[in-house]
Structure 1
Amino acid sequence: MASTAPHGSWPSPLAADALALAARRLSQPRLHRGRVTWLEGRPGEGGRQHVRCARGGGGSEALTPSDHNVRSRVHEYGGGDYGYAGDDLVYVEHGTPGIRCLGHEPVRGTLADARYADLVGSPDGRFLVAVEETASKGGGEPSNRLVAFDLRAGERRVLVEGRDFVAQPVFAPGGDALACIAWDHPNMPWDGTELLRIAWGPDGMAGDPRRVAGGPEEAIFQPGFAPDGSLLYVTDRSGWWNLERLGPEGPQPLCPRPAEFGRPLWVFGLSSWAVEAADRLLCIFGEGGEDHLARLDLRTGSLVEIPTPFTELEGIRVEGRSAVFLGASPRQPTAVCRLDLETGELEEVAWAFAASDGTGELGDDLWSRPSAVSFPSAEGRTAHAFFYAPHRPGWQGPADARPPLLVKSHGGPTAATSSSLRLPIQYWTSRGFAVIDVNYAGSTGYGRSYRNALRGAWGVADVDDCVAAARFAADQGWADPRRLAITGGSAGGYTTLCALTFRDVFAAGASHYGIGDLETLARDTHKFEARYLDRLVGPYPQEQARYRERSPIHSADRLSCPVIFLQGLDDPIVPPNQAEAMVAALEARGIPHAHVTFAGEGHGFRAAENIRRALESELSFYGHVFGFPLPDLPPVEIRSAAGRPA
């Protein structure tokens, strides 16, 4: 017989400390000389990242030294942190300048004050190409360029400069060409990019970069080369991110389909397709909020799906008869996977968490399964989300009570959530919360039109969709309409604060390093996003009135429910003064609030102790607001005015 307790107070085997230690970050799977490698971030080691490789017979081992943190800071978000030049593993070490070469001296010719990312070796092993970012000596924006290092001569050569951004360099298999994408303010890489082709010879660049595709309203993603030397790439010119080949007669769509073969380029090192054979690609595409793996015939355009147990896929790479990628599903965490392309045998070689992480008692029956839902929102729009019912075997809420609901607004905002297993969501559902994870207007995965629905409408359309999601869940009988809360980080934190300030739907909210003042963000953020708001809100300062109108800090008198703020003190993207200003406004009005800060953390929390503290603080906050008991949890400090507990 099930035990009964108030929703939110159920005892859960998913403890915050185990969750924090288990939440390893896996990224950038690679195949090199038959060896599977990947980048792994470990919260239990302060978020340190290192390159690991699979061992024969099972298990894995670290390749990079234990005192190195393999992490790029180009664009602040990094990615593309390691690669190969010939037989050598090259990588960026967070604490030192330049580019490291495993077992050898650092790469010669790097600049002492530069950051590097997207490391790609030439087929002959002589050159290493990288994106380079250097700070301005006059205090202006950093400069970004594409450079090559001659590993024999120890020389640095500039390949592409004069553009605001450059990314995704790739060599033709014969070594006679190099391609990359570039773009300029005010565009983001999902707005409009250009595809550049550079002739290459034995001694390096053999001609000036030449634009061959793309433009201000066409977003190109992941250029590459077919075995015959023709350029392949993903473009959203049709309204969907689809694959094209650049032939003698111009662009040729390979498989027109209302599906997404591309991703928003928030970080370097992403990959959604790879060459399998002379006339065949292996590719990942998204439809209806789920990813699929498939073979694409370059001659016929035929797309044949390869069955996998996964609903989220990323990072596809092919070498010989093997492919590697990251896979996840609602029932299993992210895994580094190796696929035998001849036999179809699938091997998982590493996982984001396992029993040895302290999660061994977590059986498959603990997980709340997501249901994909669509619902009407403002202006006739249909919005999308994944709903998770509260679920904990052996426990139930009172028969006459509905659960509290957490509405999750993802970051970005040009990004998306997915149905894959996420322990932070299960942390809530296993305690009796319902969760609805919203892909609001502006999210990726639903075509360019849906992505562009947030242009000029940030703080409005996204809020409309989160409010509609909450009301939809309550109307379905899935949640208590009096106990609706909203939570989000970064851009999702802004959506959260707007929903709490400008709408009267939610009873509480949590802002994780969220934005309260759009003007401050427009004036005081990093280069990569310096003009992002031109599209989302409008040009600044020309549209200053709109910025003020949509900034919660200027309408704090309309905010009347409790809020918890969680903020890293070293955040260069959303500085701590954003949370501090909102806290001061709530203190002045005597509204209950909590302000939890994390020394040494930037944009997002990497250290295990801080992940644990953030989860427990938010749970304690909801327990106080919604009135359910949490006797074993340290209470978070909640104040209603400066120096006065709530």
Structure 2
Amino acid sequence: MTELCPPHVAGNWPSWVGPELVAGRTLSFSELRTVEDWVFWQETRPEEQGRTVIVGRRHDRTLVDLIPPERTVGTRVHEYGGGAWDVRLKNGYPEVVFSDRKVGGLWFSNREGTFQALSGDRAPEMRYADLTWDTAGDGVFCVRETHDEGLPTAALVHVSHSGQETVLLEGADFYAAPRPSLDGASLAWFSWQNPEMPWTVTRLFVAPIDRTGLKLGRATDLSGQTPCSIIEPRWGVDGSLYATSDAQGCWTPVKFVHDQTGWKEQFFPEAGAEIGLPHWVFGQRTLTPLPDGQLLALGIRKGLTGVLLFADGHWKTVQMGAPVNVPERLSNGQFAWIDAPENAPPALAIGDIDGNFERFRPSVVLPDTITSDDIAKPSLFSFPTADGSKAYALFYKPASSTSHLEESEKPPLVVMAHGGPTGRANSGFAFKVQWWTSRGFAVLDVNYRGSTGFGRKYREALNEQWGVADVEDCLAGVQSLTEQGLVDPARCVIRGSSAGGLTVLSALAQSDLFAAGASLYGVTDLRALAAETHKFEARYLDGLIGPYPEKEAVYLERSPLTHAEKISVPVLFLHGGADKVVPLAQAEAMRTKLAQSDLHVYPDEGHGFRAREVVEDALERELRFYRTVFATSADPAI
């Protein structure tokens, strides 16, 4: 490809991050678990067409694929899935229960082979998630989502090896985390009702399990008097139940102890960090109960993640790498986790609580020629917001061991607006950042108001302000960088996916700070989104915008589609033709109103891109787009 600017110009540097490195060989790890001396995790492999498998590591370091090659693990409950498997040891060998992403149903896999417990072609369609082995019986507890006429319905169910399905509880709009106690005598779970989301108001319950006919006894509500998000129940070895609650302002662990008078609530002291993640997907873990009442936790301070230990009545920070979720304990006292530092690709790790650990099974092996100078590291960046408060971002300077900025040259800037919008920018190494920084771009990954990891007040600052506060913060972050002389004000672009796409388009309509923007499967029409989106997010906009149709005027005003004529710079749209979360029609409608725009559709992709060739094409297409924009508007002397 002929370069549009000389290679020495920032934004056009030769890069070690090729599309085949990002999409072709990079493994993706999630949901690590331990049982005795085994470590298990979910692994997605681009070279196997995005197939997801469960892998086990024995104490002798042998790795074993635990599902057959024709199966792929996954679920579409809530569309975002998660929690599609669980594992236990049977006669010393792993037995896995899982949902197949392509054909559905539930499957069991062990030393003897794999068999299907529930057919994926049942009518009406059944989807299963948050699978948890019955600790005192033959089968699995899980969330079932039934798709028939109208909105899907949810239930807590138990499924035996033979495929016998028992409904334990139904009636709530949503259920999550059915967790049997270690003795199998009780079941904990949480639920919520529309229009709430799991990060606004949930209810935590525990009930005895009547093994005669397999049913639940009278449930006890442990949620307390203050409406809050209380999530992630997890049992301790002493029969205590742990969870994390934001009733006191940020997600903080709480312990429930049962005695003759009932369940007693004991909040842990404030940790100076938020311990909890928004429940977008099933299977997330931020708490690990330890013997003697100790607790290991994943804490987030101003958007940066660390590991905390509660012992002897107080919290302390422990050095255990950079876990994605809380480290899980092995029978020998060591811990395992997915390590995602800022300066190296993710890998699996095993180590102790004193900071001694070994990384194994890297997601990708970097070329031998790469040095630390080639990898951009984030710095915490804060700036004043339009309402006089403070917002946060992660700022990355360009990084290369072979190229550098010319004297007085300022780098182009890529602003990233994360999805959700109830989510956050993460400081772990990511090719989506290195792709740009290695080519001479700076990157600003914005944790605008509404992001998680900063407490409930910061999260709620986006209530009824989506399309306003997030946009203001992205603009304020760019202005702060340009005022400090850190980036080239003439070469700033903004990109975002899903909810971030709305932020991108609104920012382009409201300011002249950007030379171009890219919306990846982004929201353009809020009224259509309210009418068309799936059940999990059907009332999400009630909090972000206001109830619909009562606030229809606000929906219209906040929709980028309404203000398309105000966008005067080029826009690139990338969208999946099979997207059920933000339908393709959203991008198509916006495209027709913009003279300087291009829409590229990947027919078989849903919400988010999985296929190797699609990920590669999307990266290259976006890069060419920005380079063309810069070249068109560049000073002739460049």
TM-score normalized by structure 2? 0.92
Match of 1:627, SS state, is helix
Residue 313 of structure 1 deviates from its aligned partner by 3.0
Match for residue 141 of structure 1?
151
Change (3 A) 1:221 1:398: same
Q: How far apart, CA to CA, are the structure 2 residues paired with 1:501 and 1:71?
A: 38
Match for residue 313 of structure 1?
324
Change (3 A) 1:628 1:365: farther
**Matched-pair contact (CA < 8 Å) for 2:576–2:608:** yes
Q: How far apart, CA to CA, are the structure 1 residues paired with 2:57 and 2:491?
A: 47
Q: Could you list the per-position Cα deviations for residues 306-347 of structure 1 after superposition, in whole angstroms to 9, with x for gaps in the alignment?
A: 21232x531533242232222211112222222346x76423
The letter of the residue matching 2:74 is R
Match for residue 35 of structure 2?
32
The letter of the residue matching 1:166 is Y
Matched, 1:469 2:477: yes
Q: Could you list the per-position Cα deviations for residues 520-542 of structure 1 after superposition, in whole angstroms to 9, with x for gaps in the alignment?
A: 10000011100000000000000
State percent identity of aligned pairs.
37
Match for residue 188 of structure 1?
197
Matched, 1:614 2:623: no
> Which of the residues 307, 330, 339 maps onto 2:342?
330
Change (3 A) 1:596 1:214: farther
Residue 225 of structure 1 deviates from its aligned partner by 2.2
Match of 1:170, SS state, is strand
The letter of the residue matching 2:345 is P
Match for residue 268 of structure 2?
254
Matched, 1:166 2:180: no
The letter of the residue matching 2:98 is Y
Q: How far apart, CA to CA, are the structure 2 residues paired with 1:205 and 1:291?
A: 40
Match for residue 3 of structure 2?
none
Match for residue 403 of structure 2?
395
> Which of the residues 358, 361, 370 maps onto 1:347?
358
Residue 111 of structure 1 deviates from its aligned partner by 8.2
Change (3 A) 1:628 1:555: closer
Q: How far apart, CA to CA, are the structure 1 residues paired with 2:413 and 2:120?
A: 51
Q: Could you list the per-position Cα deviations for residues 365-416 of structure 1 after superposition, in whole angstroms to 9, with x for gaps in the alignment?
A: 3101211111111101200001111121121233243111111000111011
The letter of the residue matching 2:434 is Q
Change (3 A) 1:249 1:199: closer
Match for residue 299 of structure 2?
285
Change (3 A) 1:206 1:117: closer
Match for residue 54 of structure 1?
57
Match for residue 83 of structure 1?
86
Matched, 1:93 2:100: yes
Deviates more, 1:319-328 or 1:103-112: 103-112
Deviates more, 1:261-270 or 1:198-207: 198-207
Match for residue 559 of structure 2?
551
> Which of the residues 272, 275, 290 maps onto 1:276?
290
Q: How does 1:376-455 map to 2 (within 5 A)?
A: 376-455=384-463
> Which of the residues 101, 108, 131 maps onto 2:143?
131
The letter of the residue matching 1:174 is D
CA RMSD of aligned residues (A): 2.1
Change (3 A) 1:157 1:291: same
The letter of the residue matching 1:451 is R
Q: How far apart, CA to CA, are the structure 2 residues paired with 1:217 and 1:438?
A: 29
**Matched-pair contact (CA < 8 Å) for 1:86–1:123:** no
**Matched-pair contact (CA < 8 Å) for 2:378–2:394:** yes
Q: How far apart, CA to CA, are the structure 2 residues paired with 1:516 and 1:23?
A: 31
Q: How far apart, CA to CA, are the structure 1 residues paired with 2:45 and 2:224?
A: 38
Q: Could you list the per-position Cα deviations for residues 103-131 of structure 1 after superposition, in whole angstroms to 9, with x for gaps in the alignment?
A: 24222598822111111012224231011
**Matched-pair contact (CA < 8 Å) for 1:85–1:126:** no
Match of 1:181, SS state, is strand
Match of 2:116, SS state, is coil
Match for residue 222 of structure 2?
212
Deviates more, 1:572-581 or 1:246-255: 246-255
**Matched-pair contact (CA < 8 Å) for 1:178–1:197:** yes
Change (3 A) 1:360 1:610: farther
Change (3 A) 1:27 1:553: same
Moved over 6 A (4+): none
Match for residue 309 of structure 2?
295
Q: How many residues align?
A: 614
Q: How far apart, CA to CA, are the structure 2 residues paired with 1:474 and 1:276?
A: 48
Match for residue 107 of structure 1?
117
Match for residue 573 of structure 2?
565
**Matched-pair contact (CA < 8 Å) for 2:210–2:217:** no
Match of 1:616, SS state, is helix
The letter of the residue matching 1:352 is S
Task: Identify unmatched segments of 5+ residues in structure 1.
Answer: 631-646
The letter of the residue matching 2:82 is G
Deviates more, 1:40-49 or 1:476-485: 40-49
The letter of the residue matching 1:399 is E
Task: Identify unmatched segments of 5+ residues in structure 2.
Answer: 1-5
Q: Larger RCO: Structure 1 or Structure 2 (Cα < 8 Å, ≥ 6 residues apart)?
A: 1
Match for residue 643 of structure 1?
none
Q: How far apart, CA to CA, are the structure 2 residues paired with 1:344 and 1:201?
A: 44
